[in-house]
Structure 1
Amino acid sequence: MSKEIEMSYGRSLQILVTHLIKNASKVPQPVLQGALDFENHSWRELPVETKRARLKEIAELTTAPSAIHQHMEAYPHSFSKDRYAEYLDALQAYQKALEG
Protein backbone atom coordinates (compact mmCIF):
# COMPACT_ATOMS: atom_id res chain seq x y z
CA MET A 1 0.00 0.00 0.00
CA SER A 2 1.23 3.46 -0.85
CA LYS A 3 2.11 5.66 2.10
CA GLU A 4 1.08 8.64 -0.07
CA ILE A 5 -2.49 7.30 -0.29
CA GLU A 6 -2.57 6.83 3.48
CA MET A 7 -1.16 10.30 4.15
CA SER A 8 -3.54 11.91 1.65
CA TYR A 9 -6.45 10.32 3.49
CA GLY A 10 -5.05 11.46 6.85
CA ARG A 11 -4.69 15.06 5.68
CA SER A 12 -8.19 15.14 4.24
CA LEU A 13 -9.63 13.66 7.45
CA GLN A 14 -7.85 16.33 9.49
CA ILE A 15 -9.24 19.07 7.22
CA LEU A 16 -12.75 17.64 7.60
CA VAL A 17 -12.46 17.52 11.40
CA THR A 18 -11.06 21.07 11.49
CA HIS A 19 -14.04 22.29 9.46
CA LEU A 20 -16.49 20.55 11.79
CA ILE A 21 -14.84 21.99 14.91
CA LYS A 22 -14.76 25.52 13.44
CA ASN A 23 -18.45 25.25 12.65
CA ALA A 24 -19.41 23.92 16.08
CA SER A 25 -20.53 20.61 14.65
CA LYS A 26 -20.38 17.50 16.76
CA VAL A 27 -17.43 15.33 15.80
CA PRO A 28 -17.99 11.65 16.62
CA GLN A 29 -15.22 10.26 18.82
CA PRO A 30 -13.97 7.66 16.29
CA VAL A 31 -13.61 10.39 13.64
CA LEU A 32 -11.82 12.75 16.01
CA GLN A 33 -9.55 9.98 17.26
CA GLY A 34 -8.66 9.00 13.70
CA ALA A 35 -7.61 12.57 12.90
CA LEU A 36 -5.60 12.76 16.12
CA ASP A 37 -3.90 9.45 15.35
CA PHE A 38 -2.76 10.82 12.00
CA GLU A 39 -1.59 14.03 13.65
CA ASN A 40 0.56 12.25 16.23
CA HIS A 41 1.71 9.63 13.68
CA SER A 42 0.34 6.65 15.63
CA TRP A 43 -2.01 5.59 12.81
CA ARG A 44 0.84 4.28 10.66
CA GLU A 45 1.88 1.90 13.46
CA LEU A 46 -1.52 0.18 13.58
CA PRO A 47 -1.93 -3.32 12.15
CA VAL A 48 -3.68 -3.39 8.77
CA GLU A 49 -6.68 -5.24 10.25
CA THR A 50 -7.14 -2.47 12.83
CA LYS A 51 -6.84 0.21 10.15
CA ARG A 52 -9.53 -1.53 8.09
CA ALA A 53 -11.92 -1.77 11.05
CA ARG A 54 -11.38 1.83 12.12
CA LEU A 55 -11.65 3.12 8.55
CA LYS A 56 -14.96 1.28 8.14
CA GLU A 57 -16.30 2.93 11.30
CA ILE A 58 -15.06 6.39 10.27
CA ALA A 59 -16.54 5.95 6.78
CA GLU A 60 -19.94 5.07 8.23
CA LEU A 61 -19.84 8.26 10.33
CA THR A 62 -18.72 10.56 7.51
CA THR A 63 -20.49 9.38 4.35
CA ALA A 64 -24.14 9.40 3.29
CA PRO A 65 -26.55 9.30 5.08
CA SER A 66 -24.57 10.43 8.15
CA ALA A 67 -25.05 13.74 9.96
CA ILE A 68 -21.60 14.83 8.77
CA HIS A 69 -22.55 14.14 5.15
CA GLN A 70 -25.78 16.09 5.58
CA HIS A 71 -23.89 19.00 7.17
CA MET A 72 -21.35 19.14 4.36
CA GLU A 73 -23.96 18.87 1.61
CA ALA A 74 -25.97 21.72 3.15
CA TYR A 75 -22.93 23.93 3.78
CA PRO A 76 -23.15 27.09 1.63
CA HIS A 77 -19.46 27.56 0.73
CA SER A 78 -18.04 25.76 -2.28
CA PHE A 79 -14.55 25.66 -0.72
CA SER A 80 -15.81 23.44 2.10
CA LYS A 81 -17.82 21.29 -0.28
CA ASP A 82 -14.71 20.85 -2.42
CA ARG A 83 -12.69 19.75 0.62
CA TYR A 84 -15.40 17.25 1.50
CA ALA A 85 -15.33 15.89 -2.06
CA GLU A 86 -11.55 15.54 -1.75
CA TYR A 87 -12.06 13.69 1.54
CA LEU A 88 -14.50 11.26 -0.09
CA ASP A 89 -12.05 10.62 -2.95
CA ALA A 90 -9.18 10.04 -0.51
CA LEU A 91 -11.38 7.76 1.61
CA GLN A 92 -12.31 5.66 -1.40
CA ALA A 93 -8.69 5.40 -2.57
CA TYR A 94 -7.52 4.42 0.91
CA GLN A 95 -10.26 1.81 1.29
CA LYS A 96 -9.18 0.23 -2.01
CA ALA A 97 -5.52 0.33 -0.99
CA LEU A 98 -6.27 -1.44 2.30
CA GLU A 99 -8.26 -4.13 0.49
CA GLY A 100 -5.44 -5.03 -1.87
Structure 2
Amino acid sequence: MAAYQLRIYTINRGMMDSWLGVFNGHIRPLHERLGIPVVSSYVNADRTEFIWVRRFDSADDIASKEAAYFASPERSALGDRPTSHIAKMEVRVMDGVEATAGVA
Protein backbone atom coordinates (compact mmCIF):
# COMPACT_ATOMS: atom_id res chain seq x y z
CA MET A 1 0.00 0.00 0.00
CA ALA A 2 1.21 3.47 -0.82
CA ALA A 3 2.71 5.65 1.88
CA TYR A 4 2.73 9.43 1.93
CA GLN A 5 4.75 12.06 3.70
CA LEU A 6 3.05 15.26 4.78
CA ARG A 7 5.85 17.78 5.09
CA ILE A 8 5.24 21.15 6.76
CA TYR A 9 8.08 23.65 6.53
CA THR A 10 8.14 27.00 8.30
CA ILE A 11 9.98 29.22 5.84
CA ASN A 12 12.12 32.10 7.11
CA ARG A 13 10.29 35.43 6.79
CA GLY A 14 10.66 37.06 3.41
CA MET A 15 12.15 33.94 1.81
CA MET A 16 9.04 32.22 0.40
CA ASP A 17 9.56 33.41 -3.19
CA SER A 18 13.18 32.28 -3.09
CA TRP A 19 12.14 28.93 -1.57
CA LEU A 20 9.52 28.40 -4.29
CA GLY A 21 12.20 29.00 -6.91
CA VAL A 22 14.47 26.36 -5.36
CA PHE A 23 11.58 23.94 -4.85
CA ASN A 24 10.04 24.24 -8.31
CA GLY A 25 13.33 24.62 -10.16
CA HIS A 26 15.35 21.90 -8.44
CA ILE A 27 13.71 19.91 -5.64
CA ARG A 28 10.43 18.90 -7.32
CA PRO A 29 12.04 17.88 -10.64
CA LEU A 30 14.69 15.83 -8.83
CA HIS A 31 12.03 14.07 -6.77
CA GLU A 32 10.11 13.21 -9.94
CA ARG A 33 13.26 11.85 -11.65
CA LEU A 34 13.99 9.67 -8.63
CA GLY A 35 10.48 8.20 -8.49
CA ILE A 36 9.22 10.24 -5.53
CA PRO A 37 6.14 11.99 -6.90
CA VAL A 38 5.12 15.26 -5.29
CA VAL A 39 1.35 14.81 -4.98
CA SER A 40 0.55 18.39 -3.96
CA SER A 41 2.07 21.53 -2.51
CA TYR A 42 0.63 24.58 -0.80
CA VAL A 43 1.60 27.93 0.70
CA ASN A 44 -0.49 29.18 3.62
CA ALA A 45 -2.12 32.61 3.53
CA ASP A 46 0.51 34.41 5.60
CA ARG A 47 3.25 32.87 3.42
CA THR A 48 5.26 31.42 6.29
CA GLU A 49 4.43 27.74 5.78
CA PHE A 50 5.08 25.53 2.80
CA ILE A 51 3.13 22.27 2.92
CA TRP A 52 3.70 19.41 0.54
CA VAL A 53 2.93 15.72 0.13
CA ARG A 54 5.26 13.08 -1.32
CA ARG A 55 4.17 9.58 -2.39
CA PHE A 56 6.09 6.33 -1.98
CA ASP A 57 5.13 2.83 -3.10
CA SER A 58 5.30 1.71 0.54
CA ALA A 59 6.66 2.89 3.89
CA ASP A 60 9.57 0.48 3.36
CA ASP A 61 10.66 2.53 0.31
CA ILE A 62 11.05 5.82 2.17
CA ALA A 63 14.56 5.29 3.57
CA SER A 64 16.09 4.06 0.30
CA LYS A 65 14.41 6.76 -1.81
CA GLU A 66 15.52 9.50 0.60
CA ALA A 67 19.06 8.10 0.60
CA ALA A 68 19.10 8.21 -3.21
CA TYR A 69 17.84 11.80 -3.12
CA PHE A 70 20.50 13.02 -0.69
CA ALA A 71 23.26 11.06 -2.50
CA SER A 72 22.37 12.50 -5.92
CA PRO A 73 24.77 14.95 -7.58
CA GLU A 74 21.86 17.34 -8.16
CA ARG A 75 21.06 17.54 -4.43
CA SER A 76 24.74 17.85 -3.54
CA ALA A 77 25.04 20.76 -5.98
CA LEU A 78 22.32 22.64 -4.06
CA GLY A 79 24.43 22.65 -0.90
CA ASP A 80 22.62 24.38 1.96
CA ARG A 81 20.30 26.41 -0.29
CA PRO A 82 17.21 24.39 0.67
CA THR A 83 17.90 24.24 4.41
CA SER A 84 18.86 27.92 4.61
CA HIS A 85 15.21 28.77 3.87
CA ILE A 86 13.70 26.50 6.52
CA ALA A 87 13.25 27.56 10.15
CA LYS A 88 11.31 24.46 11.18
CA MET A 89 10.38 21.16 9.55
CA GLU A 90 7.65 18.67 10.47
CA VAL A 91 7.28 15.32 8.68
CA ARG A 92 4.41 12.89 9.13
CA VAL A 93 4.19 9.50 7.44
CA MET A 94 0.69 8.45 6.45
CA ASP A 95 -0.76 5.31 4.89
CA GLY A 96 -3.12 5.57 1.96
CA VAL A 97 -6.72 4.54 2.63
CA GLU A 98 -8.70 2.64 0.02
CA ALA A 99 -12.03 4.15 -0.97
CA THR A 100 -14.94 2.56 0.85
CA ALA A 101 -18.40 2.38 -0.73
CA GLY A 102 -21.14 4.13 1.20
CA VAL A 103 -18.92 6.34 3.34
CA ALA A 104 -20.32 9.85 3.60
TM-score by length of 1: 0.38
Q: Which has the larger radius of gyration?
A: 2
More strand by share: 2
What is the TM-score when the length of structure 2 is the normalising length?
0.37
- Per residue, is there more helix in 1 or in 2? 1
Task: Work out which structure has the larger RCO, using CA pairs closer than 8 Å and 6 or more positions apart in sequence.
Answer: 2
